[in-house]
Amino acid sequence: MSSLSREDVAHLAGLARIDLSDAELDRMVGELSVILESVAKVQQAPIADVPPMSHPMPLTNVTRPDVVRPGLTPDEALSGAPERELGRFAVPRILDED
């Protein structure tokens, strides 16, 4: 059985800025104790000879070669812009100077 107390759960809730009622605190003590016990069981698994992996299925990342290609010129990129200013897209101001 876990040594998690109601005060521990209240402290964790405070750190997470979660406001729990007394009934919720009492329920969470039991739920978090079950979680901690489950983690303890998993930590007892014999994994010394198990190689680490990122996915249970063998996957190959399909990527294209990173080759530099010519891009748009500034005029081409701004050709469809409704407004431009100093070689950039002009957009309406949404924030004040304050």
pLDDT tens digits along 33-89: 999 999 999 999 998 888 888 888 888 888 888 999 999 999 999 999 999 999 899
CA 73/CA 60 separation, integer angstroms: 35
Domain residue limits at 35: 6-43
CB atoms within 10 A of CB 36: 14
Q: What CATH code is carried by the domain that includes residue 13?
A: 1.10.20
Do the domain assignments include residue 22?
yes
DSSP state of 14: H
The answer to which of 9-13, 30-34, 90-94 has the lowest mean pLDDT is 90-94
Residue with tokens 């070689």: 87
Number of domains the chain contains: 1
pLDDT band at 14; cut points 50, 70, 90: very high
Per the confidence metrics, is the pTM higher than 0.85? no
- Contact status, residue 20 vs residue 10, Cβ threshold 8 Å: yes
